[in-house]
Structure 1
Amino acid sequence: MHIVAEKTNKINFLLLFVRVVVGVLFIFSGLIKANDPLGFSYKLQEYFDVFHLTFLANYALALAIVLCSLEMVLGTLLLLGLYGKKVTWGLLLLILFFTFLTFYSAFFHVVTSCGCFGDAIPLTPWQSFSKDLVLLALIIIIFLRRKNIKPLFTNEISQTLTLSAAIVISLGIGIYTYNFLPFIDFLPYKEGNNLPTLMHAPKGAALDEYEITYTLQHKQTKEKKIVTDKDYLKNELWKDNNWEIIGDPESRIVKAGYQIPIKDLNITDAQGVDHTTELLDNPYYNLIFVAYDLNQTNLKALEKLNNLAKQATEEYTIRTVLLTASSAQQVDAINEQINLYMETFFADAVPLKSMVRANPGILLMKSGTVIKKWHYNTTPSFETLAKKYFEQLD
């Protein structure tokens, strides 16, 4: 009896340990993504494109918020031992779905990052798949022992209230951060960062190391072999007239070097003239208004920002710039509606989406440094901006 009891205690301890690990990971994963649901929705849109489900693109944000909430709710209920059978089924189905996605991404090289932990902890596709395999193994342990899960409390009303609170709080986090920017900004355009310095590798930084492979074919026997550039040079294979290179050489990274945080920002005017350095190196306060998609932008908010730009320019000669990935024709159409006062420049949608998680959003910059960022829902009044920043120019 003593041996049986000891074995039972060990099993229960293992189950508790695994529940804590899985529960904490699910809450952390959901919370990190809920910190930036708009960024997670961009990742979902990539998956929709891969699987030809583009009709779901308009629902990406709602799905992102719901998935983040689901992870947090399942993790919380697992820790508390509530609704054990339903929660373990939910965890198993969810991890099977995630494991399939990460394997597909890794094997077919279709999505470079799964977004499992948002931009806080970027993982490669194979790292994501490995993480999901470990989680799958742990969840299988929980699933097989689901009958041994004991709730922290058994009162039905208390359980219902706990479930309701978990749902409301988890959904509330995603909805809040979507409307008022992330609590923590993990992107290179966060407040305090100097953008020009992040667009170049620092002196002495290690660069990517590549390996080039050649396909050689014997002229007589037609035998083929693949050699690296190092072997090709070391063994002086170019001197052997019996072999010839066929096809194009293939290059692959064997050791990743320093990754430039901002490598895709290129700001141009309607004629394609580059203005990136000119705008980022402005030594004075300047307001950058970002509306990456003018078709989807909040037009009332953009009109409010346009009025703010007019006041800042007229009263303090602040340079105000609108950055968009939309076409010049779309800019003209917006201009007819609200008479844009700010200068308009163009950039790719990818960096613009990273600049500020709002459409439109605002960056206050000086000498290339992001001083402050605002969602259009938290736009400060002109008087507030003037008192805190612009009056220092007088």
Structure 2
Amino acid sequence: METNFNPTRKKKANLGSMLLGFSRLVVGVLFIFSGFIKANDPTGFGYKLQEYFHVFHLDALNDYSAWIAILICGFEIVLGAFLLLGLHRQKVAWGLLLLIIFFTFLTFYSAFFEVVTSCGCFGDAIPLTPWQSFLKDLILLVFILIIFRYRNRITPIMKKGTARSIAATLVVLFSFGIGIYTLYFLPIIDFLPYKEGNNIPALMVLPEGKEGDVFEYIYEIKNIRTGESKKVTDKEYMAGIWEDENWEVVGEPSSRLVKKGYQIPITDLLISDADGNDVTQEIITNPYYNFVVVSTYADKLSTTDMIALDRINTTIRDLSADYNLRAVLLTASSAQIANSLNEEMDLVLEMFYADAVPLKSMVRSNPGVMLMQNGVVIKKWSKITFPSKEELEKEYLAK
């Protein structure tokens, strides 16, 4: 009796199914995680996209960076979820392949030409260097090629019908909805150093018992009598060479990182007044309730933003009549723009200036508000979530 049973073919089929299953799990989970982490902070991911836009001369897209970020994150989550659910296998396989090829090119370009220092693949939660990102994408490419090769074997985990349609719809709504929500209501999880509960002054100094980066300095020295030149470390130089008048240092010493130490979370915060005086500590260590209103670019406030700022300003003015508090506005715009805004809106807020980088990290909203006391961030609000006078009194000031 003849039989078509082929153990070798069956073994290969089983191996292919195992590789497909493992690849689907890895890629699906990673795409969902990566998309969600970035969708948690689309404004921050948008800032990273602006760096890429600048590299490729696409600065005209800067004003749309947050919405482009939402689309990319939502697309990642949809692809990952549909892959795990086994939905639209052909479209998902092609989408994954095209996306990973694009990401691999981007991370290689960033790493090789050193144009972007961090890819933003996992937002601020897990910073990766461009080379680490490129290696990650290469590994993902292998898994996605397996998925693409065996895509016809992918089967949905749910039968065709209403349940599958509802599941697909919910996935799409969640994937794009999470980014839209956090764009207006601030990140659900704040990974930045200015998050609620953090003591800002403490994050600006090296903690007791911690050691910073250790560097070794290399001197190039020349013997003025023999003309001999050589390079020595700072330890060798200070061990006695510096006392020898026959040797002189040529040029400036170079440095080399010997040991990576504790990284101070906040190193770039400098707040100044209109005269250029440093008032950083005065602002961040205020013992009273301190409303810090952040408008990184005051000249880019839309009509809606101006209405929100006016509401914030009015609420704080009403509170200041009854409570001992301070309110400041921090901006990276010029004094001329800030003064023009102040005159137009009759702001009760004191004007101060800081670099755009730390301001973008404080509140992912323009304008946004931080409530601080004794250097601690008590609460943060976006331009649309800032509460009323009565709510602020009940929750904070009247206690």
CA deviations on 1:295-333 (whole Å, 9 max, x unpaired) are 223100000111012112111131111111111111121
* 3-state SS of 1:206 partner: coil
CA contact (8 A) 2:19 2:146 kept: no
The match for 2:111 is 106
The match for 2:3 is none
* 3-state SS of 1:252 partner: strand
Could you tell me which of 310, 315, 320 is aligned with 1:308? 315
Shift of residue 273, structure 1, vs aligned partner: 0.7
Matches within 5 A, 1:222-237: none
Structure 1 position 278 matched with structure 2 position 285: no
CA deviations on 1:357-389 (whole Å, 9 max, x unpaired) are 111111111100011111111111101111222
Could you tell me which of 168, 173, 185 is aligned with 1:168? 173
Q: Distance in 1 between matches of 2:294 and 2:221?
A: 52
Unmatched segments (≥5 aa) in structure 2: 1-5
Structure 2 vs 1, CA of residues 254 and 135 (structure 1 numbering), >3 Å: closer, same or farther?
Answer: farther
CA deviations on 1:224-250 (whole Å, 9 max, x unpaired) are 987765677789699798x98766443
Q: Distance in 2 between matches of 1:184 and 1:163?
A: 26
TM-score by length of 1: 0.91
Q: Distance in 2 between matches of 1:88 and 1:234?
A: 64
Structure 1 position 295 matched with structure 2 position 299: yes
CA contact (8 A) 2:212 2:262 kept: yes
* 3-state SS of 1:316 partner: coil
Q: Distance in 1 between matches of 2:219 and 2:160?
A: 70
Could you tell me which of 182, 185, 191 is aligned with 1:180? 185
Could you tell me which of 85, 92, 111 is aligned with 1:87? 92
Structure 1 position 369 matched with structure 2 position 373: no
Structure 1 position 356 matched with structure 2 position 360: no
Structure 2 vs 1, CA of residues 275 and 83 (structure 1 numbering), >3 Å: closer, same or farther?
Answer: same
* 3-state SS of 1:376 partner: coil
Could you tell me which of 337, 340, 348 is aligned with 1:330? 337
CA contact (8 A) 2:288 2:324 kept: no
Structure 2 vs 1, CA of residues 161 and 199 (structure 1 numbering), >3 Å: closer, same or farther?
Answer: same
The match for 1:251 is 255
The match for 1:47 is 52
Moved more, 224-233 or 252-261: 224-233
Q: Which amino acid aligns with 2:351?
A: T
Shift of residue 140, structure 1, vs aligned partner: 1.6
CA contact (8 A) 2:111 2:130 kept: yes
Structure 2 vs 1, CA of residues 239 and 95 (structure 1 numbering), >3 Å: closer, same or farther?
Answer: farther
Moved more, 120-129 or 20-29: 120-129
Structure 1 position 210 matched with structure 2 position 215: yes
* 3-state SS of 2:188 partner: coil
Structure 2 vs 1, CA of residues 10 and 238 (structure 1 numbering), >3 Å: closer, same or farther?
Answer: farther
Shift of residue 113, structure 1, vs aligned partner: 1.2
* 3-state SS of 1:173 partner: helix
Shift of residue 100, structure 1, vs aligned partner: 1.7
Could you tell me which of 380, 384, 387 is aligned with 2:387? 380
CA deviations on 1:317-360 (whole Å, 9 max, x unpaired) are 31111111111111121122210111111111111111111111
Structure 1 position 151 matched with structure 2 position 156: yes
Structure 2 vs 1, CA of residues 91 and 231 (structure 1 numbering), >3 Å: closer, same or farther?
Answer: farther
Structure 1 position 31 matched with structure 2 position 29: no
Structure 2 vs 1, CA of residues 359 and 107 (structure 1 numbering), >3 Å: closer, same or farther?
Answer: same
TM-score by length of 2: 0.90
Structure 1 position 71 matched with structure 2 position 81: no
Q: Distance in 1 between matches of 2:223 and 2:155?
A: 70
Shift of residue 148, structure 1, vs aligned partner: 2.2
Q: Which amino acid aligns with 1:278?
A: E
Shift of residue 180, structure 1, vs aligned partner: 0.5
CA deviations on 1:86-115 (whole Å, 9 max, x unpaired) are 211211111111112222222222212111
Structure 2 vs 1, CA of residues 226 and 68 (structure 1 numbering), >3 Å: closer, same or farther?
Answer: farther
Shift of residue 183, structure 1, vs aligned partner: 0.6
CA contact (8 A) 2:289 2:324 kept: no
CA contact (8 A) 2:45 2:123 kept: yes
Q: Which amino acid aligns with 2:178?
A: I
Q: Distance in 2 between matches of 1:233 and 1:87?
A: 63
Unmatched segments (≥5 aa) in structure 1: none
Structure 2 vs 1, CA of residues 225 and 140 (structure 1 numbering), >3 Å: closer, same or farther?
Answer: farther
Moved more, 18-27 or 88-97: 88-97
Shift of residue 155, structure 1, vs aligned partner: 2.2
Q: Which amino acid aligns with 1:164?
A: T
Structure 2 vs 1, CA of residues 51 and 245 (structure 1 numbering), >3 Å: closer, same or farther?
Answer: farther
Structure 2 vs 1, CA of residues 214 and 94 (structure 1 numbering), >3 Å: closer, same or farther?
Answer: farther
**Number of positions where the alignment pairs a residue of Structure 1 with one of Structure 2:** 391
